[in-house]
Homo-oligomer: A and B are copies of this chain.
Amino acid sequence: MSDEHEERVPLAHRVPDLGALELLLAVARHGSLGRAARAVGITQPAASSRIRSMERQLGVALVDRSPRGSRLTDAGALVTDWALRVVEAAEAFDAGAQALRGRRDSRLRVAASMTIAEYLLPGWLIALRAGRPGTAVSLLAGNSAVVAQRLLAGEADLGFVEGLSVPDGLDGAVIGHDRLLVVVAPSHPWARRRAPLTPAELAATQLILRERGSGTRQVLDSALSAHGGLAEPLLELASTTAVKAAVVSGAGPAVLSELAVTEELTARRLTSIPLDSVDLRRDLRAVWPTSHRPTGPARDLLTLTRGGSKPG
């Protein structure tokens, strides 16, 4: 059962590559193929050819060319918006990857829980880079205990954890909230029910879970301990990505951070089921050693995450 979606033609052949999407965005911004070309560092004929082959690939005219410049067509405006989503995701990828790369010699060392590292940090790093270009960031992902240990050992400058309490020896500040959601594919029977799920029902259901030790799983286990504890997992998978993929493909229900599934929820690829009586909210906290108040880039990042503006 489950996966093996055999796609005759891979996605990469149906979607223009990142360079082309960036070029399209540049055209939208600058109003001319030539200007856009210069903005992305290629020549005008290259841009012309690239946009043309993109139009051939999509089967739709994207820009109105005129001797006075180029404007997006109606379809082009739509495509450009979709392209922006892809480019933004790619920027987040890049921000995260850069942080991961600089493990050794970097200046700002961040330790974060998986959920925060996956879904929030890349965005923050983009914003940080805008305010402090050139800051090298390194990122280590682990559970609360690992984060605490790194901070106390002086191997990280700033940490982020989700959970109920601040580990000993650390100071912290709440920077946001997160909630665990029960999610299923829209085709799942639960998607049609009107009544909220009861904790007992959830506890008795076989779920798709991350492997033992994940923070998400621990929170869920303790919240349901009064109702019989978690049932045997239906599947145990290594990454949040794998869990999501399994749920989307209809393998069964899972409980995931809302941060991990907002995209799928608005797109209706997943449906969230209300849960009765149990509140699965948890705080997101920035933490640091009591002795070392964050300074410099660490302080900037901290400020950023609290919704404020940058110091300057």
Contact = CB atoms under 8 A, between A and B. Distances in A.
A127 B98 CA distance: 33
B118 A78 contact: yes
Interface in A22-41: 22, 25, 28-29, 39-41
Contacts of A241: 25, 28, 77, 80-81, 83-84
Interface string A89-103: 111111011101101
Interface of A: 3-4, 10-12, 14-15, 17-19, 22, 25, 28-29, 39-41, 58-60, 71-72, 74-75, 77-94, 96-98, 100-101, 103, 114, 117-120, 122-124, 126-127, 130-131, 139, 141-142, 186-188, 191-192, 238-242, 244-245, 248, 259, 262-274, 304-305, 307-310
Interface SS of A by simple majority: helix
12 contacts: A12-B18, A60-B103, A75-B100, A77-B241, A78-B114, A81-B118, A83-B93, A84-B245, A191-B308, A262-B266, A268-B305, A271-B309
Copies in the complex: 2
A276 B265 CA distance: 29
Contacts of A60: 97, 100-101, 103
